[in-house]
Amino acid sequence: MNHHTLHIYTDESHFFTKGEDSFINVYWKIDFNRELDMYFHKKKYKHDFSMFRDGVGRLEIRFFRAPNKLKSEHIAYIETLAAKHIVSNSGINAFGYSDDNQSIRRDQLHIEVSNPESVNLIDRKGVDQEFFNRFSALAALSSPAAGYLYGASVSMSTDKSWVDSYLKEDSVFENYNKVVDINIISNDYFQTALGKMIVDYRSVEEWMNSELMKFQLEVEGAIVPRPYQAVLEGLKKMTNIVYKNSKMLDKMREKFGHDCLMLTDDDHLLMIQVMPIDPSNNIYKVLGVRHHIPIAKLERMQAHGFALDITLDAPKEVLEASRARYESGLKRTALARENSKKHRK
């Protein structure tokens, strides 16, 4: 086993009302894989494993908008939000991180849910649009949670032996928490100078499916253990806003609306496309990303069949200088990886 397993269980029998408010109880437990302890420590961060949330937990979630009738779609929506809330630093923080720059590696997290539709709502790769159409607004509302969990594996399980003894009145839980569903969604909006940024499943998928990222993953052997954090790191670099005089911005506005914007870093090596969701409160949604690719790297990418739609046109001396910088960068990266391995040992 090379992952930690988060077990989640709920169903319609755990839905209840108090006055005009509607609630549902979600039960959870994490099987911590202590063979993975080495991955928690970093050069400037030492993890305190006593902060692991052991035992079975009960998470009471209140619906901000009470459903007239609980459907299977609501169960999947709740399990998706619960999974994110349990592991995220802004939520229960079940892995006990004391530094918000650290979080669980998604490639070392497996989620077991009790509803088959929760699987597709968390891991959305290859899921038909008809599925999301049926979920309507719930699909969009759960997308930030799915984005946070991007890279984790997920499956459905009917085994609830881990929680059976707790499903009775007056049970005592090792962990007990309450939250409102919309707070789970908004807790991880990322604050920038422009406003709050919503990073959802599509945001992360666009980042991971860019030609540059695919080349780095498939050819250069790069590892992105926390895809959601990779997008946040990109947002941290944004210092400029592009309002006009950009063909790329014009194309984006034709597709998503005239009020879309592009953010860039000082060197214009990275461009992030955003769309206002709630302009009065300065809330934006991250749509996609475009990387400026150095000439030598583009040359190598195209040799492997990537980014073939980009014209490679540069004088010989410029290309040779770019190749030298690229090779130097590869050596630095290889050295950093080797040092990282030594540090974990």
Query: Are 151 and 200 contained in the same domain?
Result: no
Q: Which long-range contacts (CB under 8 A, 24 or more apart) does 164-169 make?
A: 166/27, 166/56, 166/58, 167/27
- Of the three residues 134, 155, 186, the one that is the final residue of a domain is 186
Query: Are 172 and 155 contained in the same domain?
Result: yes
Q: For position 139, what pLDDT does the model report?
A: 97
d(CA 228, CA 145): 10
- Alpha-helical (H) ranges within 187-246 are 201-208, 211-218, 227-236
226 HSE (CA, 13 A, CB side): 15
Q: For position 103, what pLDDT does the model report?
A: 97
Q: Provide mean pLDDT across the span 231-241.
A: 94
Phi, psi angle pair for 54, to nearest 5°: -80, 165
85 membership: H or E segment, kind and range: helix 72-87
3-state DSSP assignment of residue 43: coil
Confidence band, pLDDT 50/70/90 cuts, at residue 344: low
Query: Are 238 and 295 contained in the same domain?
Result: yes
Q: Provide mean pLDDT across the span 24-53.
A: 96
Q: What is the largest CA-CA distance in the chain?
A: 76
Query: Are 133 and 244 contained in the same domain?
Result: no
Q: For position 318, what pLDDT does the model report?
A: 63
Confidence band, pLDDT 50/70/90 cuts, at residue 324: confident
Query: Are 149 and 254 contained in the same domain?
Result: no
Query: Are 72 and 174 contained in the same domain?
Result: yes
Sign for the pseudo-dihedral over CA of 326, 327, 332, 336: positive
d(CA 206, CA 288): 5
Query: Are 23 and 171 contained in the same domain?
Result: yes
The mean of the pLDDT values for the chain is 92
Cβ neighbourhood burial of 236 (10 Å; 0-12, 13-18, 19+): exposed
pLDDT in tens, 180-213: 999 999 999 999 989 999 999 999 999 999 999 9
CATH number of the domain that residue 118 is part of: 3.30.420
pLDDT higher than 60, residue 345: no
Domain tally for the chain?
2
Task: With beta carbons less than 8 A apart as the criterion, state whether 72 and 115 touch.
Answer: yes
Query: Are 32 and 119 contained in the same domain?
Result: yes
Query: Are 232 and 321 contained in the same domain?
Result: yes
Closest alpha carbon to 113 in 81, 148, 68, 71: 81
Confidence band, pLDDT 50/70/90 cuts, at residue 341: low
- Of the three residues 135, 154, 186, the one that is the final residue of a domain is 186
Q: For position 232, what pLDDT does the model report?
A: 96
Domain that holds residue 203: 190-344
Query: Are 39 and 55 contained in the same domain?
Result: yes
Query: Are 195 and 277 contained in the same domain?
Result: yes
Q: For position 326, what pLDDT does the model report?
A: 66
Task: With beta carbons less than 8 A apart as the criterion, state whether 73 and 120 touch.
Answer: no
d(CA 79, CA 313): 50
**DSSP per-residue letters across 132-147:** HHHHTHHHHHTHHHHH
pTM for the predicted model, two decimal places: 0.90
Task: With beta carbons less than 8 A apart as the criterion, state whether 314 and 296 touch.
Answer: no
Amino acid in position 242: V
pLDDT higher than 70, residue 1: no
pLDDT higher than 90, residue 172: yes
Query: Are 204 and 171 contained in the same domain?
Result: no
Q: For position 54, what pLDDT does the model report?
A: 97
- Of the three residues 138, 162, 186, the one that is the final residue of a domain is 186
Q: For position 116, what pLDDT does the model report?
A: 96
d(CA 316, CA 300): 15
